Amino acid sequence: MKSLTRPVLIGDGIVGVSTRHHLTQEGWSEVVLAECDELTSGIAWHSAAQVTNFATNQTMAGLESLSIRPCKKLAEDPDNPINDHFGDGGIRLAITEAQMRGHRHFASMASAMDVHFEAIDAEECARRHSLIFIKSLMGGLRGPREGGLDPAQLCLAFARRARGASAEVNRNMPDLGLTRNADDSWSVHAERSDTDCDVVVNACGNRVNDVAIRNA
Ligand SMILES: Cc1cc2nc3c(=O)[nH]c(=O)nc-3n(C[C@H](O)[C@H](O)[C@H](O)COP(=O)(O)OP(=O)(O)OC[C@H]3O[C@@H](n4cnc5c(N)ncnc54)[C@H](O)[C@@H]3O)c2cc1C
């Protein structure tokens, strides 16, 4: 690894690769990635990868809608094909009036963030999806931008872009160690070299707490 850099990202799942891509887009050229195994060898590889902008509050609905944009842009790139179903739409069903009220509330709340959802009746649910039976169904909440994609292909597409922007990638690096220095900078210790940096991004998925605690 380089001996001196700005951020070291640890973990090459969707969080690591998209952070790497976005930092290089922001002009950070000295980005180093360290992964204990291979690209997308963590949770991102076997995720169901439904893409939603449904959330429990307005801010998250807005943020999730923004996060769909770069994925869609990458999916449209003929050099980085991604199997996707953007915009197929999703429906959350409601079998009680209280659930329908919740759906109407969300649709109204989301519209303030320019995020479109609509509360639809049972007949419209069945018209939209042939496997929906309307017996006992009050209706549903339809999100027209929801869909899904192949998570491993998305990771690859982000990784290719960041590689094009000259981020340094180090894979198969188990047993990374971290030391926080007196001036608040970090030293990242690998088997054969050490790297000093200002910022460490811990993107280790479900290992994130282990890595943080081990190096606290
Ligand atoms: C069955 C299932 C279905 C899901 N469905 C959806 C869905 O439909 N929609 C959705 O949005 N989300 C879904 N998720 C959640 C989503 O997949 C995860 O939130 C996301 O993939 C996490 O990405 P990550 O980059 O944080 O972690 P990971 O993909 O796990 O990446 C972490 C990386 O860090 C590396 N690493 C770990 N420890 C170290 C270490 N000490 N040193 C160096 N590297 C290390 C790992 O090898 C790995 O490559 C689902 C998850 C599961 C399990």
pLDDT tens column, 142-199: 999 999 999 999 999 998 888 777 678 889 998 899 999 999 999 999 888 889 999 9
168 three-state secondary structure: strand
The C-alpha atoms of residue 83 and residue 165 are separated, in whole angstroms, by 24
Cβ of 152 below 6 Å from ligand 1: no
Cβ of 167 below 6 Å from ligand 1: no
Cβ of 49 below 6 Å from ligand 1: yes
Cβ of 13 below 6 Å from ligand 1: yes
CATH code that applies to domain 4-43+172-214: 3.50.50.60
Q: Of all residues in the chain, what percent carry a pLDDT higher than 70?
A: 97
The C-alpha atoms of residue 86 and residue 185 are separated, in whole angstroms, by 41
Question: What angle is formed at CA 28 by the lines to CA 61 and CA 170, rounded to 5 degrees?
Answer: 95
pLDDT tens column, 31-40: 888 999 999 8
Q: What is the pLDDT of residue 27?
A: 87
CB 155 within 8 A of CB 14: yes
The C-alpha atoms of residue 129 and residue 118 are separated, in whole angstroms, by 15
Closest ligand 1 atom to the C-alpha of 37?
Answer: 47
Cβ of 203 below 6 Å from ligand 1: yes
Residues of the chain with CATH 3.50.50.60: 4-43+172-214
Burial class (CB within 10 angstroms; exposed 0-12, middle 13-18, buried 19+) of 108: exposed
In this prediction the ipTM stands at 0.96
The rounded Å distance from CA 132 to ligand 1 centre is 31
Residue bearing the CA closest to ligand 1, atom 7: 49
Task: Ligand 1 pocket test: pick from 71, 204, 211 the residue with the most ligand atoms within 8 Å of its Cβ.
Answer: 204
Which residue from 7, 49, 52, 10 is spatially nearest to 28, judged by alpha carbons? 7
The rounded Å distance from CA 40 to ligand 1 centre is 8
The rounded Å distance from CA 76 to ligand 1 centre is 24
Q: What is the pLDDT of residue 98?
A: 98
DSSP H helical segments within 26-146, as ranges? Answer: 58-75, 97-111, 122-128
